[in-house]
Amino acid sequence: MELVSNPDELISTQGYFLPHHCVIKETSSSTKLRPAFNASQGTDLGISLNEVLHSGPKLQTELLDVILRWRCYPIVFTAGIEKMFRRIWIYPEECTYQKILWKSHPDEELNTYCLKTVTFGFASAPYLGIRTLHQLTDDEGNNFPLATDILRNEINVNDFLSGAYEFDTTIEKRRQVSLLLKAGGFILRKWLSNCEDVLQGVLEDYKEKASSYEFTQETIHRALGIL
């Protein structure tokens, strides 16, 4: 986000102040405290930003299709894009619709900031996120054909579930999806697999705490909410 230093910018009739609060999730292995933004909050005009915002067409693959396809693979892996929306810039002239009030200490004066990236809580956020990934496959997909299929058919917003029937193909799919997303500035974390060797070369900090599942263990993991 960026500090709004020019008071004249606040007088503009165009703009929106986002209410926000914190959400604490103790079970999260990465970010236990997250900000939640509410673009559905009504203004003094009686409408919210989300009510007048074009949300875009639905681009997500149906969740059921993603899970059923994943369950067909004998060797599987999953991962999530870290802070996906925060890695996608919006046009500077649109930042006025993403203003927040913030102070870092109770004794400080309130300051106005503009959020500069796609923000979860906007009706358009899912479309913008997935459309960016589709554009990345259009731009770079020829170099990573196996990863293109993942980003088109095996992802639900920022979490993907993939795999293969042979070990070597699984390794190559994991390698290609990492490189393709890296080309767009995206980082993958929370890697999991039912075969530990699939995750060779992945940094330990980028893996889920338990990176493989053994049926003799009592550890439970979730993939898009499914145990």
Each residue's pLDDT tens digit, 116-164: 999 989 999 999 999 999 999 999 999 999 999 999 999 988 899 999 9
> ∠ CA(48), CA(155), CA(204), 5° rounding?
110
Mean pLDDT, rounded, of the chain:
88
Q: Is a pLDDT exceeding 80 seen at residue 12?
A: no
- In angstroms, the CA 63 to CA 157 distance is 10
pLDDT attached to residue 126: 92
Each residue's pLDDT tens digit, 28-44: 766 788 889 999 999 88
pLDDT attached to residue 209: 75
- Give the H/E segment covering residue 168: helix 167-183
pLDDT attached to residue 10: 63
Q: Is a pLDDT exceeding 70 seen at residue 211?
A: no
- Within 8 A by CB and 6+ apart from 91, the residues are none
pLDDT attached to residue 222: 75
